[in-house]
Amino acid sequence: MEIELISGALGAEVKGIDLKDSSIENWNVINDLLLEHKVLFFRNQNITSEEQLNLARKFGPLERHIYVKGREKYPEILRIIKEPDEKQQWGETWHTDVSYNPKPTKVIMLRSIKIPPVGGDTMFSNMELAYETLDDEIKNKIDDKKAIHSSLGAAAFVDAYKAMEGNGNLKEYSNSHPVVRTHPETGKKILYVNSMYTKKILDLDEDESDHILNHIFKHQERLDFTCRFKWTENAVAIWDNRSTLHQGLTDFFPGRGLGHERVMDRIAIEGDNPQ
């Protein structure tokens, strides 16, 4: 097994592990690496949908997206498609997946099916580092606070993407979570807000909440907290959704990524109630 760090903040590319192997022994190695590096990348993994599902289930119960329809034969797999003429892609702002759920996603397993020749890299940011480096004045204000996370409604997930099909649910969801959560496996503190879904810190007036959240959002996007992955076909990324933010870059321009389809298969594993 070879492990190559992607950046000083987080992320590792792993060679010598076959993701077709969903044994508990192989999963234990992957999970230990995941807790250490927060996001793992595996290239040249020509796995089937069944094999992707088998490994994902080792992390826990699979969840279905509340707004977007999964694949017909594999409803737990969400196929994310950017059409050739589309300039945007799904998940193009810094976020933690489904932080508006009572039990936000624990782990994401994303497999590349078809990628453009350039563009559409995915970036990740380490929220343990973000908390550790936050100034003490802000820490003191948020350590015991909760914040409201809103799902934005179904339109945000399907209207701008021609190939993404809604499942008929139109309800908007909101839940509150600690601004600083504790990782249930490592015990580390995590800065658990994001600019896509977090709307207000409870028990603060609106102006102070906005001021603190805007300060945190800028802090979370510091480049020295991040790593960037350039996709190739048959690559798999597995990330800890509890301790990271991520975004898909929309650098699709004429003569570059624009004019090419991008297809990814996403599986999400159910998490717990943030504490």
Per-residue pLDDT tens over the stretch 90-104: 999 999 999 999 999
- Return the pLDDT at 132: 98
Measured CA distances, 66 to 63, 130, 213, 216 (Å): 9, 29, 26, 27
Rounded Cα distance between 201 and 214, Å, is 11
- Return the pLDDT at 40: 98
Amino acid at the residue 142: I
Confidence of residue 274 (pLDDT cuts 50, 70, 90): very high
Per-residue pLDDT tens over the stretch 222-231: 999 999 999 9
- Return the pLDDT at 187: 98
Q: Which residues contact 59 (CB under 8 A, 6 or more apart)?
A: 27, 31, 106, 107, 109, 269
Q: Which residue has the tokens 């480096």?
A: 133
Confidence of residue 263 (pLDDT cuts 50, 70, 90): very high
CA dihedral (245, 238, 267, 163) in degrees, to 10, reads 70
Confidence of residue 208 (pLDDT cuts 50, 70, 90): very high
Per-residue pLDDT tens over the stretch 35-65: 999 999 999 999 999 999 999 999 999 999 9
Q: Which residue has the tokens 């498609």?
A: 81
- Return the pLDDT at 101: 96
Burial 111-146 (b: 16+ CB within 10 A, else e): bbeebbeebbebbbbbbbbbbeebeeebeeebeebb
pTM, to two decimals: 0.97
Nearest to 66 by CA among 149, 205, 172: 172
Amino acid at the residue 92: E
Count the alpha carbons within 13 Å of 196 in the hemisphere toward its beta carbon.
21
Rounded Cα distance between 125 and 193, Å, is 12
Q: Where do the domains of the chain lie, and which CATH numbers do they carry?
A: 2-269 (3.60.130.10)
E strand or H helix that includes residue 179? none
Q: Which two tokens stand for residue 86?
A: 């589309």
